Structure 1
Amino acid sequence: MQDFPAGIGDLIGANAALIFIAVLILLAVGSAVRIVPQSQKFVVERFGRLRAVLGPGINIIMPFLDRVAHRISILERQLPTSRQDAITADNVLVQVETSVFYRIIEPEKTVYRIRDIDAAIATTVAGIVRSEIGTMELDQVQSNRASLIERIRDSLANVVDDWGIEVTRAEILDVNLDDATRAAMLQQLNAERARRAQVTEAEGKRRAVELAADGELYAAEQHAKAKRVLADAEAYATAAIAEAIARNGLEAAQYQVALKQVEALSDMARGEGRQTIVLPAGAVEAFGEAFRLLKGRA
């Protein structure tokens, strides 16, 4: 075996030491520097105990003493759609489909306080849904779904706060009924539609009667107005005649009466059977009176 000179051996030993130190430094730097992605948080432990939670970016930890125990995604997650049975306040069995969205905001609570976070949230949601629906009737569940979702989300948020979780959204996708209940509701709906149709028809007939009565009342009012106008006209004519009599005297009135009698006898003479004229008693006096009045006016 060939022996190296003492100087060469010392040089090789020094280089090996330098290489070892360089490797050690690289390992230390590699274990000390942690680059955390934007969508994650790292949970760091030291000797099995929580040391720190690293946020996104470059982080420095103690090499060989600290280690990244958990890499937690902080992206929003969606639980698989779950179905649970519930009984309403009016004893109707329904099957509710729910979906929950959440994200982890405090990983140190999530990794040390709960083992299966998805299963825990699903179980909690099922219990809250049964509890909330049990206080409502079926019609309220169908019509106040937004209010029900809000109550479920608030109740769920209070429960999962200890797990470092934020519930971002909770949805009720559907409320299903069994066949018997659905058939009964359909029958009730048809009956309600028939009742509304009858009410609408009755209201239409009543409105038609009201309109007919209003028309008759309007016609009666217009007829009464016409009679009142005629009466006013006759009263005005009578007043005019009375005023003329008062102004021209009684002779003017007698003159007009005599003229009317003469005109009446003339009409009778022009009619059929004009060869024979029947004169009423006093006709001669009427003629004489008329001639006398005519002569006097001339």
Structure 2
Amino acid sequence: MTVLTLTLIIALLALAAVAVKRVPAGQVHSLYRHGKPVRLLQPGTHVVLPLLDRVGHRIDLGGRTLRFDASMAETQAVHGTVYWQVLEPERADAVIEQADQLIRSGVLDALHADTEASQAERREVAARLKCSLNQHLRENGVMVTRVELEAA
């Protein structure tokens, strides 16, 4: 075997190894070609075009958490946690990088609209906050599963 033949075989094997993508269970990978989304790779093993395709986002379908701090009134600070998950990865792919900012801004907007809530009404405020967030996030394939509020 010549050096050129050996180099060619090694290059082809490396190219074949790069062409195989494995997506773990509980995740979806978005595949991009020339900067545009092509398809979603579901859990399992997939063959892609190694020089043209790239994985854009690795979307975790399990739950995520987001901690926040907000002030509802001049004297009352609220801390809390929002639990959310991706339900429709096709829709969420476009906004997955901004999901935390979308949720955080939705929390602040909803809490500022609900400034007269007392500590005793915290559960009701959390339920209204969850409903409000889900109305805004549903079109992006994301759902808030639970909101926990803690008054500081």
TM-score range, shorter chain: 0.7 to 0.9
* Corresponding position: 1:65 with 2:47: no
Partners of 2:19 and 2:36 lie apart in 1 by 17
Partners of 2:39 and 2:18 lie apart in 1 by 15
Q: How big is the shift at 1:21?
A: 4.3
Q: 5+ residue gaps in structure 1?
A: 1-10, 88-92, 177-298
Residue pairs, 1:165-184, within 5 angstroms: 165-174=142-151
For residues 106 and 47 of structure 1, do their structure 2 counterparts lie closer, same or farther at Cα, with a shift above 3 Å needed? same
Sequence identity percentage? 28
Aligned to 2:34: 47
Q: How big is the shift at 1:60?
A: 1.9
Contact 1:31 1:64 survives alignment (8 Å): no
| Secondary structure at 1:99 match in 2 | strand
Aligned to 1:103: 85
Contact 1:128 1:152 survives alignment (8 Å): yes
The structure that has the greater radius of gyration is 1
**Higher relative helix content:** 1
Contact 1:153 1:167 survives alignment (8 Å): yes
Supply the AA of the counterpart residue of 2:109.
Answer: G
Q: How big is the shift at 1:47?
A: 1.3
Q: How big is the shift at 1:128?
A: 0.7
Q: How big is the shift at 1:108?
A: 4.7
Task: Identify which of structures 1 and 2 has the higher relative contact order when contacts are C-alpha pairs closer than 8 Å and 6+ apart.
Answer: 2
Aligned to 1:275: none
Aligned to 2:130: 153
**CA-to-aligned-CA distance 1:66-111 (integer Å, 9 cap, x gap):** 1212223333221123122238xxxxx5332221111233445444
Residue pairs, 1:1-298, within 5 angstroms: 12=2, 16-17=4-5, 19-86=6-73, 94-113=76-95, 115-131=97-113, 133-134=114-115, 137-138=116-117, 141-174=118-151
Runs of 4+ in 1 over 4 A off after TM superposition: none
| Secondary structure at 2:94 match in 1 | helix
**Higher relative strand content:** 2
Give the TM-score normalised by structure 2. 0.80
Supply the AA of the counterpart residue of 1:164.
Answer: G
Count of residues in Structure 1 that have an aligned counterpart in Structure 2: 152
Give the TM-score normalised by structure 1. 0.45
Partners of 1:148 and 1:80 lie apart in 2 by 16
| Secondary structure at 2:100 match in 1 | helix
| Secondary structure at 2:108 match in 1 | helix
Contact 1:103 1:168 survives alignment (8 Å): yes
Partners of 1:158 and 1:53 lie apart in 2 by 25
Contact 1:85 1:95 survives alignment (8 Å): yes
Q: 5+ residue gaps in structure 2?
A: none
| Secondary structure at 2:50 match in 1 | coil
Partners of 1:75 and 1:66 lie apart in 2 by 25
Aligned to 1:4: none
Supply the AA of the counterpart residue of 2:52.
Answer: L
| Secondary structure at 2:67 match in 1 | coil
TM-align CA RMSD: 2.6
Q: How big is the shift at 1:20?
A: 4.2
